[in-house]
Amino acid sequence: MRVVLGVSGGIAAYKAIEVCRRLVDAGHHVTPVLTDAAVHFVGETTFAALASAPVQRSLWEGTIPHTRLGKTADVVVVAPATADLLARYAAGMADDLLTATLLATRAPVVVCPAMHTEMWEHPAVQDNLARLVARGVVVVPPETGRLAGGDVGAGRMAEPAAIVAAVAAAGGPRDLEGRRVVVSAGGTRERIDPVRVITNRSSGKQGHAVAEAAAARGASVTLVTAAPLSVDAPAVEVVRVESAADMEAAMVAAAPGADVVVMAAAVADFRPKASAEVKVHGVPELVLEQTPDILAELVRRRDPGQVIVGFAAETDDPLERGAGKLERKGVDLLVVNDVSAPGVGFDHDTNAVTILSAGGGAVEVPLRTKREVAEALLDRVVGLLTTTHRDPPRTAPADQTGRTAT
């Protein structure tokens, strides 16, 4: 998605730097447009280092830059949007590159007001906002918190995570509107004693990216995660878990009624048969047992028409092993990756996968950000929902689907 990031002249401009970074990390192409007032608070060099394109400031450099930016943008976001910027935009003024771009675009526009409380509450500001909302502009309201000069009150610009989520929702497809999606993420931790655990190297980043992407497409999302990561989508319901048993209980509780279940978590394959109540001193002898097969249980319990996605992290013969797992597990899609490849899998912000389908065929996704991989996966999921799984008969008996093995 091509994003024009407008920055106007307020102290909250420093937070626009983090908005820029997060948008780029999510796989978006970001072009910053700074007003003259903005550079009193933040420097061009910072945005030039983080963004996808050079900083734009002048109406007089290049060929009609405002129409070029306006026509090529998928979404325009202004963060911060000062009282002055909102007034000029509402009045239809085009006296600098940012306001001219706002008038020259037919893309969705998101504004993120930031100002002191007295200004935020002024009737003129509220009238301008009402006029913009009536024109279809998306407003990410400010929060209450610390303001410039040590004051506290309403008018603090929304946090970057909320702004990035609003941009994704405004500019991206809404093809999961009205759908429920449940996603698992992270590597579980199996207790040896109060201090030590058995775990794996999963960061949870790919599962979190799937949850955030699904929310941006309009889905109601529950994320069951064992990863200590924040979620860049405030609307996502987050359920924190630790062990495989915790995750199984949470997923079994969340899955009924969901349209899509994505099992992206790396569940520990083994756990100690018994864990100590106090710290073990010396070298313990561990007797291990297999953890529950959560994916198999979800498939066994699946609702009619429910799309289930599994993941397979492999290091040798990934496609052959993945094809075998696809058949054994009875899932609709299986995402396979070779975690021994450079830039793929654990601890990376990038991934390269092959998406195998129970209906036959495979889609290769070359090395991309994990958000881009998530989008490619959801494109496949949407295809299943709108063909094979359109309007699933939730009340039909499980054995009528031809999919559930008990």
pLDDT tens column, 18-34: 999 999 988 899 999 99
Q: Within this chain, do residues 25 and 167 fall inside the same structural domain, yes or no? A: yes
pLDDT, position 16: 97
Higher pLDDT, 290 or 172: 290
Express each pLDDT in 280-312 by its tens digit. 999 989 999 999 999 999 999 999 999 999 999
Q: What is the largest CA-CA distance in the chain?
A: 75
Task: Tell the residue number behind the tokens 């048993």, with chain if given.
Answer: 245
What number is the average pLDDT over the span 129-133?
96
Express each pLDDT in 95-124 by its tens digit. 999 999 999 999 999 999 999 999 999 999
Is 125 inside a domain boundary? yes
Is 270 inside a domain boundary? yes
Is 86 inside a domain boundary? yes
pLDDT band for position 402 (50/70/90)? Answer: very low
Q: Within this chain, do residues 148 and 202 fall inside the same structural domain, yes or no? A: no
Q: Within this chain, do residues 249 and 319 fall inside the same structural domain, yes or no? A: yes
For residue 185, what is the domain's CATH number?
3.40.50.10300
Please state which of the ranges 169-173, 327-331, 381-385 shows the lowest mean pLDDT.
169-173
Is 85 inside a domain boundary? yes
φ/ψ of residue 294, rounded to 5: -65, -40
Among 171, 193, 215, identify where a domain stops: 171
The set of catalytic residues is: 200
pLDDT band for position 246 (50/70/90)? Answer: very high
The total number of structural domains in the chain stands at 2
The pLDDT > 70 percentage for the chain reads 95
The pLDDT > 90 percentage for the chain reads 83
Is 154 inside a domain boundary? yes
Among 118, 145, 171, identify where a domain stops: 171
What number is the average pLDDT over the span 42-56?
96
pLDDT band for position 228 (50/70/90)? Answer: very high
**pTM (two decimals):** 0.76
Please state which of the ranges 49-53, 204-208, 350-354, 386-390 shows the lowest mean pLDDT.
386-390
Q: Within this chain, do residues 342 and 295 fall inside the same structural domain, yes or no? A: yes
For residue 49, what is the domain's CATH number?
3.40.50.1950
Is residue 173 pLDDT above 90, yes or no? no
Is 187 inside a domain boundary? yes
Q: Within this chain, do residues 143 and 211 fall inside the same structural domain, yes or no? A: no
Q: Within this chain, do residues 185 and 292 fall inside the same structural domain, yes or no? A: yes
Please state which of the ranges 39-48, 71-80, 103-112, 231-240 shows the lowest mean pLDDT.
231-240
Is residue 202 pLDDT above 60, yes or no? yes
φ/ψ of residue 336, rounded to 5: -110, 135
Q: Within this chain, do residues 135 and 185 fall inside the same structural domain, yes or no? A: no
Q: Within this chain, do residues 42 and 75 fall inside the same structural domain, yes or no? A: yes
Is residue 404 pLDDT above 70, yes or no? no
Higher pLDDT, 151 or 119: 119
Which residues fall within 8 angstroms of residue 333, CB to CB, at 6 or more apart?
A: 307, 308, 309, 310, 355, 356, 357, 358, 377, 380, 381, 384
What number is the average pLDDT over the span 368-380?
93
Domain range enclosing 6: 2-171
Express each pLDDT in 265-277 by its tens digit. 999 999 999 999 9
231 burial (CB, 10 Å; 0-12 / 13-18 / 19+) is buried
Is residue 234 pLDDT above 90, yes or no? no
Is 136 inside a domain boundary? yes
Mean pLDDT of the residues in the chain: 92
Task: Write the single-letter amino acid at 185.
Answer: A
What number is the average pLDDT over the span 209-220?
93
Is residue 331 pLDDT above 80, yes or no? yes
pLDDT, position 388: 57
pLDDT, position 401: 31
Can the peptide bond before residue 80 be classed as cis, meaning omega within 30 degrees of 0?
yes
Is 406 inside a domain boundary? no
Which residues fall within 8 angstroms of residue 202, CB to CB, at 6 or more apart?
A: 186, 187, 227, 265, 266, 313, 346
Q: Within this chain, do residues 307 and 374 fall inside the same structural domain, yes or no? A: yes
Radius of gyration of the chain (CA): 24
What number is the average pLDDT over the span 190-212?
95
233 burial (CB, 10 Å; 0-12 / 13-18 / 19+) is buried
Q: Within this chain, do residues 313 and 275 fall inside the same structural domain, yes or no? A: yes
Among 148, 171, 194, identify where a domain stops: 171
Q: Within this chain, do residues 86 and 60 fall inside the same structural domain, yes or no? A: yes
Express each pLDDT in 82-92 by its tens digit. 999 999 999 99
Q: Within this chain, do residues 192 and 340 fall inside the same structural domain, yes or no? A: yes
